[in-house]
A and B are shown apart, each in its own frame.
Chain A
Amino acid sequence: MSKETHELTCINCPLGCLLTVVVDDGEVVSVTGNTCRRGDSYGRKEVTNPTRIVTTSVPVVGSATQKMVSVKTAHDVPKELIFDVMRALRDVRVTAPVSIGDVVVADVCGTGVDIIATRCA
């Protein structure tokens, strides 16, 4: 069976424990190096299903006040899709008026997650 060892830093508090997560055939078999339980669940999730919120900005046309509107994924998306999300937004332009929460791109990269505006324009 394929045993893998991952080393990562827990981000849940300033202590920053160095975690060692051992995965066997897709299953986490051990998390060590953590000082508390939060490190254990963080280590498991980071190794099996790491996710991130992606934030960026896109050009806006027809706004008197600004050239760009900041946007984000409404929820976290799989970490390996960060660059796909960026590519999907490369040629996106929005037209004023824009309100916070407006959907800029629906269901980005088939994740089921929308890209929404985080600023008015």
Chain B
Amino acid sequence: METRDIVIIGGGPAGLAAAIAAYDAGCSDVVVLERDTLLGGILNQCIHNGFGLHTFKEELTGPEYAARYVACAEELGVECRLGSMVVDVSSDRCVTVVNPERGLYSIQAKAVVLAMGCRERPRGALNIPGFRPAGIFSAGTAQRLVNIEGQMPGRKVVILGSGDIGLIMARRMTLEGAQVACVAEIMPYSGGLKRNIVQCLDDFGIPLLLSHTVSRIEGKKRVEAVWVSEVDDQLRPIPGTEVRYPCDTLLLSVGLLPENELSREAGVELSPITRGPVVDDSLQTNVEGIFACGNVLHVHDLVDYVSQEAAVAGESAARFVLDQVQESDSTQICLCAEGGVRYTVPTRVCPSRMPDKLTIRFRVANVYRDTFVSMYVGEDRVLHRRKRVMAPGEMEEVVLKKSDVLARPDTSSITITLEGE
């Protein structure tokens, strides 16, 4: 059987940044496995600008951002196998791949980096009564149709869900001559970035209906109209508020789910909140030698953070291979999310190994104004920072200092919470 130091599953921005970081850390026996016929992942269909502001200090489009990482990987000589779909990962890191030319084969890896990205929530999960006529697409599918295939899914459009992809597609369809009647969002706030609401909806006079949902779909063969209702605070449609929008297309932008079928089979523990692996500060899962990064770990809104996170995973995988350290016996401290913090990544920290400054990413459960983010190491508050506003749609981060942890050797937990004052 073929043996490799590091096998990276997925050739999107996460997989590429992990491979580059592994090389930089001194491990060059790396292979990236990508099921598609090109590298770059979801970025290839995100042709709008707004990528890379943090990393490159300029606004790139998705394909341009991807191309920079592809070029860097090529320069280093990273081996990337396209058309190679991973069908199984075992807990002892044997990776099984299908490729049209080579058929089914396996690679024994010393370390594996999971970078499979995420997929859109399917419409089955939506529970809209009525027929299932043609003309209902996920926003990401519509994005691929328009930008990659050059096909318009329809001419009169209603969008359910105000996630970023839905907002981006409202503008994209409008530019291509379609009429977007409205974007309905069941929550009282949008899940998308403010910038997208202004530049994708306000610029074109497309109404954003907060606390509204699609309550009925009309049409047998093709969508003919959708009915949009206001919802109460239990998110149930309020009778009598229904408005009918004639249209031929309904786009769904109702959330993304990390793609973790492979992880599960490998025995990787998943978080019920992020639906991604539970990891420590080196982004290692509970299965030794298996690391995770990018959208497979938790859904990101900015690709810059994906690249940063993936670099940590790639470097950790390289260290795992090169140092042959057995981490399992060193003590780990739990990171707890409380008081409006929905989750943290990572959820465990190893004080002896952690970097001097560890970035902890998290999301909040609601919209909070003038609230403090606090971090406690044991009983001691080590961070207390006022935030003017926080929203579920924007990922937050705090930095945990190693010195704060080492100064309190008996600590058994670290807590991140929101406080009024």
Same complex = yes
* Residues of A in contact with B (beta carbons under 8 Å apart): 8-9, 11, 13-16, 35, 52-57, 59, 65-68, 70, 72, 79, 82-83, 86, 100, 118-120
Q: CA of A110 to CA of B1 in the docked complex: distance in angstroms?
A: 62
16 intermolecular pairs with C-beta atoms under 8 Å apart: A8-B198, A14-B194, A35-B388, A52-B199, A53-B49, A53-B59, A54-B175, A55-B47, A55-B48, A56-B175, A57-B148, A65-B38, A67-B149, A67-B150, A70-B61, A118-B63
* A9 and B197 contacting across the interface, CB-CB below 8 Å: yes
Q: CA of A65 to CA of B176 in the docked complex: distance in angstroms?
A: 23
Q: Give the residue name and chain of the A residue nearest to B49 (CB).
A: A53
Given contacts A67-B148, A72-B49, A118-B61, contact A9 B203 (CB under 8 A): no
Binds A, one of B94-102, B154-162, B276-284, B389-397: B389-397
Q: Does B73 have its Cβ within 8 Å of any Cβ on chain A?
A: no
A9 to chain B: which residues have CB within 8 Å?
194, 197-198, 202
Q: How far apart are A24's CB and chain B's nearest CB, in angstroms? A: 24
* B148 and A119 contacting across the interface, CB-CB below 8 Å: no
B47 to chain A: which residues have CB within 8 Å?
55-57, 70, 72, 118-119
Q: CA of A101 to CA of B263 in the docked complex: distance in angstroms?
A: 39
Q: How far apart are A38's CB and chain B's nearest CB, in angstroms? A: 13
* B64 and A11 contacting across the interface, CB-CB below 8 Å: no
Closest 8 CB pairs of A and B: A70-B47, A119-B63, A11-B195, A118-B61, A16-B194, A68-B150, A53-B49, A15-B389
* A72 and B389 contacting across the interface, CB-CB below 8 Å: no
Q: How far apart are B421's CB and chain A's nearest CB, in angstroms? A: 19
Q: Give the residue name and chain of the A residue nearest to B146 (CB).
A: A57
* A57 and B150 contacting across the interface, CB-CB below 8 Å: yes
Given contacts A56-B175, A70-B147, A72-B49, contact A14 B67 (CB under 8 A): no
A54 to chain B: which residues have CB within 8 Å?
175
* B390 and A14 contacting across the interface, CB-CB below 8 Å: yes
Q: How far apart are A59's CB and chain B's nearest CB, in angstroms? A: 6
A72 to chain B: which residues have CB within 8 Å?
47, 49, 61
